[in-house]
Amino acid sequence: MWMLHSATMLPAFLLLFFMGTSSRFSEAMSRDEKNKLRNQVLEMFDHAYQNYMDHAYPADELMPLTCRGRVRGLEPSRGDVDDALGKFSLTLIDTLDTLALLNKTAEFEEAVRRVVTDVRLDNDIVVSVFETNIRVLGGLLGGHSMAVMLKESGRMVWYQDELLHMAKDLGLRLLPAFNTSSGLPYPRVNLRFGVRGPETRTGTETDTCTACAGTIILEFAALSRFTGDPTFEAHARRALDFLWEKRQRNSNLVGTTINIHSGEWVRRDSGVGAGIDSYYEYLMKAYILLGDEQFLQRFNTHYASIMKYISQPPLLLDVHIHKPLLPARTWMDSLLAFFPGLQVLKGDIRPAIETHEMLYQVTKKHNFLPEAFTTDFRVHWAQHPLRPEFAESTYFLYKATRDPYYLEVGRTILENLNRFARVPCGFAAMKDVRTGSHEDRMDSFFLAEMFKYLFLLFAEEEDLPFNVEDYIFTTEAHLLPLSLSTASNSQAPTLVNNMAGEELDDSNFEWTCPNTRLLFPDPAFPRNLREPIRSAVDKSCPRPTTHREPGMGHPPLRAQDFMANNPEHLELLRRMGVSLIHLKDGRVQLVQHATQAVSAVAAEDGMRFMQEMMELSSQQQKEQLPPRAVQIVSHPFFGRVVLTAGPAQFGMDLYKSSSGVRGFVTVAEPYNGCSVLSNGEIVAGRIALLQRGQCMFAEKARHIQKAGAIGGIVIDDNEGSSSDTAPLFQMAGDGRNTDDVTLPLLFLFYKEGNILLEALKEYREVEVLLSDKARDRVGAEEEDCSTEEKDHTSPASSEPVDQSQVTTQEQTTDDSVVGQESVQPAEGLGSYDPVDVGEEPAVDGDYSSQSVDSLMADWQEDLEAFKQMEKDEL
């Protein structure tokens, strides 16, 4: 019999978790092999942490591709994701208790001294209440817990609760956010000025996510019980009470976004992923930490509804709270990967095994969990910011079953991190799991969580500096002592019994977890659960169907035939009242003035032409070429730096090349590549670097091909542009037949291009690989199974315009404006990448059919969900 947490609970309840004999389920891993993997975790942590300290500290986070710190305000804004940054050395604080757990006592002591000496919490900066609570307040409290533990063992005798004092200071700075009629916090707060007044630059928001308001109780209750000040715990309880009161009473589910003033649900979709996830987690863990049975009652009520409506083993699909039998979407986000671990704490092992296995098979297909994936396990959003949730669930399942299978899962996680994410200055997030391209970010949660769970997975009990069963993990994996359950907060809060008057079945209140030995009498049973799921994922990569162009009438000029540099086409457009506006970034905008057409018939033709452009765009949005990769393979990079590149609609199709094109790079002269090269003898046999602008992309390709180049890379001339903050471009032809262009041409934004140019400046000889995705530096690649069709061919030169930038806006005059300004796609929505067509047009218009309206509604829902997931890091 094994007790998951120490018996500091109320006597009425012991959370028991029984160990089965499932070590026989798979071939056991030797102790030497586990030690080897444990040491590998330590080496990887050192690589990440030391590079942060060497290149980024005291900045909040490390930018591992450019080897420098990310300072808010000095880097291009990434939107809501930057709200986690508060100029308070975020990564160092988030890593404190990781250092202690990994037996790095000297480094921990030094880190505590740095935090106490260097970190300021009174910066005039607006931060996320949710992120600051789980990362910074949680990090300070976890660090304090570790410091107290070490002091009691005779080390760090100088420590006088400095981290706790900082934690209380931060807690007081977060409290103004809770000054609402509902008790739900504002999503953001100014650390110096609070939420009221013009100097705060916040306090006008009306909505927050359920997880944002419901993931406060562990940190605030711990702060109250450490300090004896009940204020913090009382505010967190009030927020949880309000969320419980606002649940949908028939389904017992909560929505994703709620109005903090009225309590109305803004988004009524419900799941266990982004926007809600840690609300459920904190109900269960608040009971474990605080011993208040009300939290367990609420969790069990929600959990029964989750298993009734959302769980479709092995899938977890969002539903509508008022119509829970109606699915809300056909894809899942990666944040739900924490849920099998929570099910382990609940004691519901079978669905935990099934969902975890589904996630593992998706991971094996794409090397990492895509940020979102469809019900047939294809990529929906291609990023992976090195999230730890899958590793977390792997650890908890191993802890529950002792099945060596989960050690092998952990080995896979380690290998993929080293093979695909490791770069010279740390570990870089994946920009696109399909290509292996990187993003210049290493979030603090990577050090706070990933290495904790992986270390615990492979460590033996004697490897740990303390008994982890005496602590509970927060959602950021910070360690809070269970002894807090008996600590006084100086004033017992008045609890609102929102269960009063309700008929609740006794089955809602399960007091112990089941004995896994009785649950799985057959040692092979977990393996039998996994096998059909593995087969289902293996067989679920259908190719998308070919989309035929809809027939929308036949105006004098067809949209698919239009060429921006064809004088006859321009004249036809003029007669239809359609003109071109050249944008600063090299693209053009189509604008129709119906009153300027030469006749009513011509005006009608113009409207039909613009509508056809819209329909063609909606078709081509489904036929986007996937991004390509530029992988630096020479010393000292050795393939570890992968840059996201935009493809061309002409030239060699790298998607059909098994090996890509590999060669040394050199700068073309002239750099714009718009005339015969003067350094042709140097370019011959190499990959030419070119600057965007002054001529068509196909013309650049022909000049370097004539000089003997084997490939080309066009670098954006718009200083500051980056694939981190802008959708990728595709390069179209010039309206002529481009079959003569046989070399590959790729596009890099300014930031990624500058990384390549700086490498060339420093090392002189830089070799790169141009390919459809990053190549495995060790050997074999996993089969790719993404939303992109494997049989893609480059569009014919008669289609030089990709209309994927089409958006719709309300028509209020006789003029129709078609352009780029009304909607900007969100980073990472792969199906909506815009296209750089050089001097070719991007269009927008009001000629929306029902299908276009439906498309844009779906896109807006995806965009909101993506933004929400960026807010809700856990």
> Helix (H, G, I), strand (E, B), or coil: what is residue 198?
helix
Q: Which residue has the tokens 């208790």?
A: 97
Check: CB of residue 253 under 8 Å from CB of residue 307: no
Q: Under a CB-based contact definition with an 8 Å cutoff, are residues 558 and 550 in contact? A: no
Structure-token pair, residue 795 = 């569009």
- What φ, ψ does residue 613 adopt, rounded to 5°? -60, -45
DSSP reduced 3-state for 259: strand
d(CA 563, CA 321): 49
Listed in sequence order, the residues at least 6 apart from 165 whose beta carbon sits closer than 8 Å to its beta carbon are: none
CA 420 to chain centre: 16
For residue 503, the tally of other CB atoms under 10 A from its CB is 4
CA dist., res. 663 & res. 665, Å (int):
7
* Distance separating alpha carbons of residues 390 and 368, to the nearest angstrom: 10
Sole residue written with tokens 């004088």? 567
Of all helices (H) and strands (E), which one includes residue 212?
helix 210-214
The structure tokens listed for 590 are 């189509």
Which residues 6+ apart lie within 8 Å of 385 measured at CB? 371, 429, 430, 439, 441, 443
Residue 472 dihedral angles phi and psi, to the nearest 5°: -120, 145
Element (H, E) at 536: helix 525-538
Q: What is the CA radius of gyration of the chain?
A: 28
Buried b (16+ CB within 10 A) or exposed e, 603-626: bebbbbbbbbbbbbbbbbbebbbb
The torsion region of residue 194 among left (phi > 0), alpha (psi -120 to 50) and beta comes to left
Reduced to 3 states, what is the DSSP secondary structure of residue 236? helix
Written as six digits, the tokens of 787 are 């939303």
Best CA proximity match to 871, nearest among 173, 70, 83, 73: 83
Please enumerate in sequence order all residues whose Cβ is within 8 A of that of 172, keeping only pairs 6 or more positions apart, or say none.
none
Residue 761 φ/ψ, nearest 5 degrees = -65, -40
Task: Answer for the pair 313, 489: CB distance below 8 angstroms, yes or no.
Answer: no
Give CA angle at 593 (588, 599), nearest 5°: 125
Side chain identity at residue 442, one-letter code? M
* Cα(264)–Cα(182) distance, integer angstroms: 11
Distance CA 272, CA 335 (A): 8
How would DSSP label each residue in 490-531? Answer: SSPPPPP-TTTT----GGG---SPPBHHHH--STTHHHHHHH
| Residue ranges with strand state E in 418-505 | 422-423, 426-427, 429-432, 437-439, 471-473, 479-481
Instruction: Transcribe 28-85 into DSSP letters.
Output: PPPHHHHHHHHHHHHHHHHHHHHHHHHHTTTSSEEETTTTEEE-TTTS---GGGGGG-
For residue 796, give the nearest of 687, 615, 653 by alpha carbon.
653
Buried-state track 252-276, b at ≥16 Cβ within 10 A, e below 16: bbbbbbbbbeeeebbbbbbbbbbbb
Give φ, ψ of 479 to 5 degrees: -100, 120
Cis peptide before 58 (omega within 30 of 0): yes
Residues marked active site are found at 131, 277, 371, 389
